[in-house]
A and B are shown apart, each in its own frame.
Chain A
Amino acid sequence: MANARDEILEWAQQGHIPPEHMRSALEKSGALPDESQWRTFFDKVLLSMGAVLLGAGVIFFFAYNWQDLGRFAKFALVQAPILAGLAVVWKLGIDGAPGKAALITITLLVGALLALVGQTYQTGADTFELFAVWALAILPWTLAARFPALWLIWLALVNVAIGLYFNTTGRMLGMAFRPDKLMWVLFGFNTIALAVWEGLAAAGVTWLRERWAMRVMAVASGYLATSLAMHDILDSPRGFPGGLIAWFAWMVVSFCVYRYVVKDLFVLAGGLLSLILVVVTAILKETRFDSAAVFLVIGLIVIGISAAGGWWLKQVASEEESA
């Protein structure tokens, strides 16, 4: 992680490298990408853009020709590229970039196909069923592909399905819809997903070791924990503070894990943001937004926590470099 680029920039700042030699220093240390690295990069970008645009192209084509296509032509139009994608997987395997790009595209097309069938034959099925069936249909692919991006798509689908399910049943039973119940379920789901992912990655499943994927999940889980805490402060100040307790536990556990075990500055910074949000919410609630002085205090607190947090994060980062 401590990379040559940061080090060279630091030397330059301290005057050890004269400005005219910066470029060659960066090139020699490998901090600037060489030709083959650029080529790999472009290969990847073009491939993934091609895959996404191909999927979008199919969808736009039949959206534009909606009236002129019979329903069987539409089904065929979505199914043919799915078969083609499976053929790509067959020919090129699943471990290379083309196979993975094909898999992402057909994952999206399966959703389009399910939506198209649901739109053509309106049986009154609820929208959450579409997302649940979609997630179920791609689950075997997700399990077999060893591909973090596909797992994230799967997790997103399950999140949407859970959200829509609560929306539908909440109204169906005629009760007042309680948003915090949904937040609890999603918080539990995403936190468990994150914990399992981190656990498996630590236990030696190398293909899961993609920090960006874990960060996406940490953002989801942390966002929900923060929302639960804010919900407790604002909407049910007299009830049992379950949300605040969960948030506090989340903060402590993620601090320990991402400070001492995995060391992830991104998540630590997110934790600071969450701390600021909850503290400010609590102050605003206590003071009922009623005087200008409160805003001064809040401003100072935000500046204070951010400055201290920034200093602390830099500390942690430099410790990482010397390690």
Chain B
Amino acid sequence: MRKWIIILTGVATLALVNWTITQRENQITNGKVARLELAPVDPRSLMQGDYMALRFQLSNEVQRAITEKKEDAQDGHLVAKPDANGITRYVRLHAGESLAPDEFLLRYRVRDHQVKFATNAWFFQEGHAKIYEGARYGEFRVSPAGEMLLVAMLGKDREKLGPALPSTP
């Protein structure tokens, strides 16, 4: 009996993990594309050997909107919209209202007084820093709930830099 509890919950754990993996894979292939413009960062702290620190323009706009509200900064969603070049632009903070057809949600977290979209770092193979030096945009795939996954870095003409990550097997 106890043995079976262990085996069944073990298999259930693996099943749940694999279900999560398929959800994420699904988001990477079918999620809505969001291209966020990078904000300039102090170049000395930009490249860290095997990753590059990221800061997006949108963070500043969210930061400003939160400061105007004069509330404690908390996690939330913002409403975004692509511009003519396909770059995602800030519209407003989301307060539960329904969206126009071209608008979509992005989830942000506030950590260490900074607005963060999914991740603050782009990881690459050590020695590949040169490839990403000219990065101007980060490309995300977004779920309907606004959950974001960073999938690629783009150059100034919105071309993909380096091997697409997470690299396909």
Interface residues of A (CB under 8 A from B): 67, 69-73, 75, 79, 82-83, 85-86, 89-90, 93-94, 99, 103, 106, 110, 113-114, 117, 120-124, 126, 137, 140-141, 143-146, 168, 171-174
Contact = CB atoms under 8 A, between A and B. Distances in A.
Given A94-B3, A120-B166, A122-B150, A140 B9 contact: yes
B111 interface: yes
B14 to A, nearest CB: 6
Of listed A69, A86, A113, A114, residue having the most chain B CB within 10 A = A86
A75 B21 contact: yes
B84 to A, nearest CB: 29
B166 A110 contact: no
A94 B6 CA distance: 9
Nearest 7 pairs between A and B by C-beta?
A: A70-B169, A140-B9, A122-B119, A144-B5, A121-B24, A124-B118, A144-B2
Contacts of B21: 75, 117, 121
B113 interface: yes
B65 interface: no
A199 B50 CA distance: 51
Interface string B64-97: 0000000011110000000000000000000000
A173 B168 contact: no
Contacts, number: 99
B113 A90 contact: no
B61 interface: no
Given A72-B169, A123-B149, A172-B74, A79 B14 contact: yes
Given A70-B168, A83-B14, A89-B3, A122 B118 contact: yes
B41 interface: no
Contacts of B9: 137, 140-141, 144
B49 interface: no
Contacts of A73: 169
A171 B112 contact: yes
B2 A137 contact: no
Contacts of B5: 140-141, 143-144
A111 to B, nearest CB: 11
A172 B110 contact: yes
B97 to A, nearest CB: 24
Interface in B15-57: 17-18, 20-21, 24, 28
A83 B15 CA distance: 11
Contacts of A168: 111
A145 B147 contact: no
- Secondary structure at the B interface, as helix, strand, loop or mixed, is mixed
Contacts of B28: 121
Nearest to B16: A137
Given A82-B14, A86-B6, A126-B111, 9 more contacts: A70-B168, A86-B10, A89-B10, A94-B2, A122-B150, A141-B5, A146-B2, A172-B73, A174-B73
B131 interface: no
A93 B3 contact: yes
Contacts of A110: 13
A82 B3 contact: no
Contacts of A82: 10, 14
B99 interface: no
Interface string B101-114: 00000010111110
Interface string B135-168: 0000000000001111000000000000000111
Contacts of B20: 117
B89 to A, nearest CB: 21
B116 A124 contact: yes
B17 A113 contact: yes
A99 B2 CA distance: 12
A79 B11 CA distance: 10
30 contacts: A70-B168, A73-B169, A75-B21, A79-B14, A79-B18, A82-B10, A85-B10, A86-B7, A86-B10, A89-B6, A89-B10, A90-B7, A94-B2, A106-B10, A117-B20, A121-B28, A121-B149, A122-B121, A123-B118, A123-B147, A123-B148, A140-B6, A144-B3, A144-B6, A144-B9, A168-B111, A172-B74, A172-B75, A174-B72, A174-B73
Contacts of A117: 17, 20-21, 24
Contacts of A122: 118-119, 121, 149-150
B21 to A, nearest CB: 6
Contacts of A85: 10
Of listed B2, B18, B112, B147, residue having the most chain A CB within 10 A = B2
